[in-house]
Chain A
Amino acid sequence: MSSLTEKDKPIVQLLLNTGTCPRCIFRFCRVGSQTLYRHPYKDLTEFLKNNQQQEDAAGFGVVDPPCKRIRLEHTEEVPDDLNQNGVLKHVPLVNDDSAAVENSTVEVCNVCLGILQEFCEADFVKRVCEKVKSADYQFTSFVFSVSLPPQLSVRERAAWLLVKQEMGKLGLSLAKDDIVQLKEAYKWIIHPQLSEELGVPADGKSLFEVSVVFAHPETDEECRFLMAVMKALEKIKEEDFLKHFPCPPSSPKNLCVALEIQCNNGAVFVAGRYNKYSRNLPQTPWIIDGERKLESSVEELISEHLMAEFKADSFNFSSSGREDVDVRTLGNGRPFAIELVNPRRIHFTAEEMKELQQTINNSSDKIRVRDLQLVTREAIGRMKEGEEEKTKTYSALVWTDKAIQKEDIAFLDDIKELKLDQKTPLRVLHRRPLAVRCRIIHTMKSEYIDEHHFRLHLKTQAGTYIKEFVHGDFGRTKPNIGSLLNRTADILELDVEVIVDWARNRCD
């Protein structure tokens, strides 16, 4: 059904009498024509009144020429009946030469509380769009979402019961689902207007969301009899409902207010790889007992520039593995990804991403970033999968208590596939279960420095604790460099070489 018919007349009359707006009347009469709802409000009022007077009412949808005429008049008219807050002043419309209706008072609809009245008008659309424009987002479409106060559901129920009773008298029925939903009708009316004003199409799948939260303080009390309104409305019996709530719903004095108009852009993801050249820099902020231990971190050094350029609200950092605060990360770098939450800016050319990477690299010599690029959420998953590298490459600077000669350490180079038994290191034992794990040192290569120092290059199974392999952790890692050399050994520096082609693959 797309327009009004003869049998709708009693319903239209009933609702008109009880203070319901024309668009809500259409909804209850199951009018499905979107264009009909979009006609100027005043024309609709006039139409309904005329319609009721005519003996053989034609559907509004068919009466095309008069509509066009009326619409034209409407657009020339400058509405001045809104105050600063978009709340309707309760004064009759001023007599206006071009107005088709004279001396009419716009009563606040007892069902939609003004949502399908003032909040469909150009002034409100303008207000929303100004808010969107001032928030300075980049977007190519939008999704519009509305939050309505719960009393609207209660009033909708009361109106439905009223109409259902009336139709019952005529031997007709009306299911709840037959009614055009308030939000649905609202979007039919407001989407084209928002779309025109913003210059982009409405799209239910858009990542850019414009949301409006409505409230109606005047009637906040009236759904108190239903605790959690939506759930309770499903359960309550009609007789009980009617005992607690006036049917038809009373006519309020005031319109709804738009409490908040907000914008939100879907997250964007930036990925790349980083090298860490500092032995005094944690990957993420290092906080113990609420106290910061070091002033910076890898994630902050990278993210602060991204946050500034993308103008995001917040970020989430993730990476393929991590290194200790005192370990450098060399090789072609550790893959990382940063989710930028609610970014204002989302479009960056490859050239701009390169510049951004340069900015990050120029701002600190503690880290270096490569292959910085925009990626999809799915690509992050692939990065996390790549975490299970089988082999790790390290370089350790080793100290020994007793003097060593080149010959003393040469045998290390010949050791292949050395099996270790590693107890959970004491340094992490407070937060990990105690266990003995078998790990393998695939190969070692020693580089003699002086009587107490040498560099050791290692290829190991993932999950091997290198520091403990060198100093032995109270003999809890066996064998260890100390036991192999029959000396006390310690590790002075550790570098991890991360070699992956995760980011590179996607660049091609």
Chain B
Amino acid sequence: MAAGRAGGGGAARYFTRWYKPDVKGRPCEDFCVLQHSNRICVITLAEAHPLLQNGKTIKSINYQISPNCSRLQNKVSGKSKRGAQFLTELAPLCRISSTDGEEYTIYSCIRGRLIEVNESILSNPAILQEKPSTEGYIAVVLPKFEESKSITQGLLTQKEYEEVLLKRHNNSA
């Protein structure tokens, strides 16, 4: 009988985890890309993200990233997912503000088409902090077939990310 599951158990165990730390030079604003073998990617906050630290309370989540672009307007149809918004690595997915007055932008981290955003976190923002790598995911992105290998080249593996976390810890200590 299998023992406890790695990576928090549940659906996430079928995915490979990739990390992008300090995005846009903002310390500890780390993201995690969960990639399935079928090339589907789920974008989540990484464990070290400021929003997941003690004492933070989420005030609002906004998928309206500019006056004329809302990720909530994204609609895909058919097997080929026609109509998807195309995302570059630094395309914003949403902005999240906390009660302490900070605002954080969540980025796609990979190139691909936006398949869906997680609307559940709008009605239940707490889930983003309780289960950031499963039910509190941000969005689902489908990379181009020919880019499915190359999109993760600029990202860190789980092991590399742990080294980054260790270094941070040592520097602050």
Identify the A interface with B (CB < 8 A).
Answer: 399, 401, 423, 426-434, 452-453, 468, 471-475, 482, 488-490, 492
Q: Evaluate whether A475 and B127 lie within 8 angstroms (CB atoms) in the complex, with A434-B116, A488-B9 already known.
A: yes
The interface centre, meaning the residue of A468, A482, A492 with most chain B CB atoms within 10 A of its CB, is A482
Partner of A474, one of B4, B11, B39: B11
**Nearest CB of chain B from residue A25's CB, rounded to whole Å:** 64
- B78 on interface, CB distance cutoff 8 Å: yes
Assuming A452-B4, A474-B137, A488-B134, is B14 touching A427 (CB within 8 A)? yes
A474 to B10, CA, bound (A): 8
- Are B76 and A473 touching (Cβ within 8 A)? no
Could you say which of A468, A475, A490 contacts B135, with CB atoms under 8 Å apart?
A475
* B103, chain A: closest CB distance, angstroms: 25
Interface residues of B in 1-28 (CB under 8 A from A): 1-2, 4-5, 8-14
Would A431 and B79 be within 8 Å (CB), given that A399-B2, A399-B5 are in contact? yes
Interface size on B, residues (CB 8 A): 32
> Is B39 within 8 A of A430, CB to CB?
yes
On whether the beta carbons of A475 and B120 are closer than 8 Å, the reply is: yes
Report the Cα distance A472→B140, complex, angstroms: 15
User: Does the CB pair B42–A434 fall under 8 Å?
Assistant: no
Q: In the complex, what residues of B have CB within 8 A of residue A468's CB?
A: 11
Q: Is B77 an interface residue (CB 8 A)?
A: yes
B140 cross-chain contacts in A, Cβ below 8 A: 426, 429
B134 partner residues in chain A, CB cutoff 8 A = 472, 474-475, 488
B9, B14, B36 interface centre (most CB from chain A within 10 Å): B9
Shortest C-beta distance, B165 to chain A (Å), equals 22
Q: Is the CB of B2 within 8 A of A473?
A: no
Closest residue of chain B to A449 (Cβ to Cβ) is: B1
Across the A-B interface, give the 10 residue pairs with the lowest CB-CB distance, nearest first.
A475-B135, A430-B38, A471-B10, A471-B11, A488-B9, A488-B10, A490-B9, A473-B11, A474-B137, A492-B2
Counting CB contacts under 8 A, is B142 at the interface?
A: yes
Number of A-B contacts (CB under 8 A): 80
Measured CB to CB, the closest approach of chain A to B106, in angstroms, equals 16
Residues of B near A490 (CB, < 8 A) are: 5, 9-10, 13
Separation of A471 and B39 alpha carbons in the complex (Å) = 20
Query: Which residues in A have their C-beta under 8 angstroms from that of B5?
Result: 399, 401, 490
Question: Once bound together, how far apart are the Cα atoms of A489 and B134, in whole Å?
Answer: 12
Q: In whole Å, how far is A40's beta carbon from the nearest beta carbon of chain B?
A: 67
A488 to B12, CA, bound (A): 11
Residues of B within 8 A of A (CB): 1-2, 4-5, 8-14, 36, 38-40, 42, 76-79, 81, 115-116, 118, 120, 127, 131, 134-135, 137, 140, 142
Is the pair A433, B79 in contact by a Cβ cutoff of 8 Å? yes
B122 to chain A, nearest CB (A): 13
Looking at the assembled complex, report how far the CB atom of A486 sits from the nearest CB atom of chain B, in whole angstroms.
Answer: 11
Contact of B77 with A474 in the complex, beta carbons under 8 Å: no
Instruction: Return the chain B residue nearest A400 by Cβ.
Output: B9
User: Is the CB–CB distance between A434 and B11 below 8 Å?
Assistant: no
C-alpha gap A453/B10 in the complex (Å)? 14
B10 touches A426 (CB 8 A): no
Q: Which residues of A have CB within 8 Å of B12?
A: 474
The answer on a CB contact under 8 Å between A433 and B4 is no
Closest A residue to B41 using CB positions = A426
**Contact residue among B4, B36, B116, B127 (Cβ-Cβ distance under 8 Å from A427):** B36
- Chain B residues whose C-beta falls within 8 Å of the C-beta of A431 in the assembled complex: 38, 79
User: How many whole Å from A51's CB to the nearest CB in chain B?
Assistant: 74
A433 adjacent to B77 (CB under 8 Å): yes
Bound complex: CA A191 to CA B161 (Å): 81
Given A399-B2, A429-B40, A489-B10: A434 touches B76 (CB 8 Å cut-off): yes
| Complex-state Cα separation, A432 to B142, whole angstroms | 13
Determine how close the nearest CB of chain B comes to the CB of A480; give it in whole angstroms.
9
Q: How far does the alpha carbon of A389 sit from the alpha carbon of B148 in the complex, in Å?
A: 38
Query: Quick check: A429 and B10 within 8 Å, CB to CB?
Result: no
Contact B1 A474 (CB under 8 A): no
Contacts of A426 in B (CB 8 A): 11, 36, 40, 42, 140
CA distance A347 to B152 in the complex (A): 58
Residues of B within 8 A of A474 (CB): 11-12, 42, 118, 134-135, 137
